[in-house]
Structure 1
Amino acid sequence: MKYKLIALDLDGTLKNSKNKITPKTKKALIQAQELGMKIVLASGRPTPGLRHEAKELELEKYEGYILSFNGARVVDVKTGETVYEQTLTLEEAKRAYERSKEYQLSCMTYKDNMIMTEDIDDKYVCIEGQINDIEKKKVSSFIDCLEEPIHKVLLTGDPDYVGNIEAEFKAPFGDTLSIYRSAPFFIEVMAQGIDKAASLDRLVKTLGIRQEEVIAFGDGYNDLSMIEYAGLGVAMDNAVDGVKERADMITKSHDDDGIAYTLSQVIEGIDV
């Protein structure tokens, strides 16, 4: 099989436990692009939170893509154009916020390359700011700060608690919104039908690439859809069990160059 596109989750997949892209993994991905393959950074992060990795992997030069907010926005790195976008309405975002208050969850969204939140000192809000290297801004009223387009509302809480209340929390929304966990302490709220696979499928069809020509790497709950979608869905060794169980292949961990190892095994011309 000649693969043409590589979709990569970031945290726990592309980046190791020190939050770095290792030299071996970077080398393999540059080689893949030199062979004509497209790279898509597919993450729950906001678009600005992927800028450093896009630059490091030279996605502008090789015409790669950013799939951010778990698929709510897809951007062509070279042109800066939005290829696909689906957003929440103001009313949907307000409902998510009101529901979060019932469950004592912290709530945030994104505006002008900043995190907007009433709970600026919440430890998981701080983690989101650190991961994305973007500023946090405290607002007195989350609802008053909302302004379209709204790609995602992110809720946070202690992992055990979030796991226990997830199903109950999202029950009233039915299938009107996409709501699921990414990290154990995050609940993502996005427009109906948004996940990494759905947006990846739109991009793949736009590029004229077949589904079986896609490789996807991931480790978390929000990677499951694209791992199942891809012709070759690869779980990192450090992935959650649910992802490992559904993947076509389990590779080495993000600390052991799992991406580079797999690419060198399945793509002729990649030598790391």
Structure 2
Amino acid sequence: MSYKLICLDLDGTLLTSQHTISEANLAVLRALEDQGIRIAIVSGRSGYDAKHHARTISNKTFYIGSNGAIVGNVATGEIIAETNISKGNLRKIVSYARETRIKPIVFTKNETIIHGPRDYFMHLYLNRKHKTKMNAYLRFVPSHRKMKCLIAHEDTGIQKVVFFITNKYKADQIEKELKAQDDFEVARTSLICFEVTEKGMNKSDGIRRLIEHLNIKKEEVMAFGDSENDYAMLSYVGYGVAMGNAPNRIKAVADKITDTNDQDGVANELKNIFSDISYSS
């Protein structure tokens, strides 16, 4: 099979444990783009964060953010597709957050809206740690009432809501309750992190909308991932690759298991698949 599009998760996949893209990965991806093969970042991170990392590869790279809710083209600035959470679902999510005393973090295509000073300063720390310059995109909302009012009147559209829950028992319980409602998509991306999007929105749907735009068949797509929110993506594409650091459930659905994100697993597998291309080191 001749693959025309390579889709890459960020954390735990393309990014190392130091939250950078290795020189080996960059060299291989740029060489493939020079040969006309499309590259797309496919992340649970916000659209502007996914776009930031896509631009690190080149201005020809595409991006899919917020677990499929936004699809964009770095070169043209075009938003190919986007799906916001409905007002009705937002009201349900915010009401549930208040009942369970968890603070939502809200993502539009342009900014991250933080509820609570602890979450605000945590995001400032994470942005510095991840070596991104996203602080300008943070907005602080001090109370639940103001967050509810903001959501009711937000014109730019909210694509994702995130909950961080540090108590494992509470996190397990909330996961069951959120998924039981069946009104929206819930992805548990780590032991403490839940990401909520509109029903039907996941990484595979983002890829579907991108390949329709590019006139590419799903059988002509490769994808790399390591986490629970990569399951649908790896199942959907023609060739799914799990990282060596992925959990067993993700490895089980993949067509191939490569090295870890700290061992240039992406570059190593791409060199194996595209063995006829010359790569600079």
TM-score between the two structures when normalised by the length of structure 1: 0.91
- State yes or no: 1:97 paired with 2:104: no
Match of 1:231 in 2: 238
Match of 2:74 in 1: 77
Q: Is the 8 A contact 2:228 2:250 kept in 1?
A: yes
Question: Unmatched 5+ residue regions in structure 1?
Answer: none
Q: Is the 8 A contact 1:5 1:213 kept in 2?
A: yes
Match of 1:40 in 2: 40
Secondary structure of 1:12's counterpart equals helix
| Residue-by-residue CA offset, 1:216-244 (whole Å, 9 max, x unaligned) | 00111111111111111001111122111
| Residue-by-residue CA offset, 1:149-180 (whole Å, 9 max, x unaligned) | 11111111126246512442214522x21112
Q: 1:117 aligns with which of 114, 117, 129?
A: 114
Q: Offset of 1:124 from its aligned partner?
A: 5.8
Determine the C-alpha separation between the residues in 2 that align with 1:112 and 1:199.
Answer: 14
Match of 1:143 in 2: 148
Counterpart code for 2:20: K
Question: Unmatched 5+ residue regions in structure 2?
Answer: none
Match of 2:54 in 1: 54
Secondary structure of 1:30's counterpart equals helix
Q: Identity over aligned residues, as a percent? A: 29
Q: Which has the higher helix share?
A: 2
More off after superposition, 213-222 vs 124-133:
124-133
Determine the C-alpha separation between the residues in 2 that align with 1:8 and 1:110.
Answer: 21
Secondary structure of 2:262's counterpart equals coil
Match of 2:255 in 1: 248
Determine the C-alpha separation between the residues in 2 that align with 1:242 and 1:102.
Answer: 32
Q: Offset of 1:102 from its aligned partner?
A: 2.6
Q: Is the 8 A contact 2:42 2:67 kept in 1?
A: yes
Match of 1:4 in 2: 4
CA-atom RMSD in angstroms? 2.0
Cα–Cα, structure 1 residues 128 and 108, in superposed 2: closer, same or farther, change >3 Å? farther
Q: Is the 8 A contact 2:179 2:185 kept in 1?
A: no
Q: Offset of 1:110 from its aligned partner?
A: 2.7
Cα–Cα, structure 1 residues 270 and 102, in superposed 2: closer, same or farther, change >3 Å? farther
- Between the two proteins, the alignment pairs up a number of residues equal to 268
Counterpart code for 1:191: E
| Residue-by-residue CA offset, 1:170-200 (whole Å, 9 max, x unaligned) | 14522x2111212332111111100000120
Q: Is the 8 A contact 2:165 2:171 kept in 1?
A: no
Secondary structure of 2:186's counterpart equals strand
Match of 1:173 in 2: 181
Q: 2:83 aligns with which of 82, 86, 90?
A: 86
What does residue range 149-188 of structure 1 map to in structure 2 within 5 Å?
A: 149-158=157-166, 160-161=168-169, 163-174=171-182, 176-188=183-195
Secondary structure of 2:50's counterpart equals helix
- State yes or no: 1:67 paired with 2:64: yes
Determine the C-alpha separation between the residues in 1 that align with 2:94 and 2:127.
Answer: 19
| Residue-by-residue CA offset, 1:231-262 (whole Å, 9 max, x unaligned) | 11001111122111111111000000000000
| Residue-by-residue CA offset, 1:128-163 (whole Å, 9 max, x unaligned) | 655464233321321112214111111111262465
Secondary structure of 1:28's counterpart equals helix
Q: Is the 8 A contact 1:196 1:225 kept in 2?
A: yes
Q: Offset of 1:201 from its aligned partner?
A: 1.2
Match of 2:228 in 1: 221
Q: Is the 8 A contact 1:110 1:152 kept in 2?
A: yes
Determine the C-alpha separation between the residues in 1 that align with 2:266 and 2:14.
Answer: 7
Secondary structure of 1:99's counterpart equals helix
Determine the C-alpha separation between the residues in 2 that align with 1:270 and 1:264.
Answer: 9
Q: Offset of 1:94 from its aligned partner?
A: 2.1
- State yes or no: 1:258 paired with 2:260: no
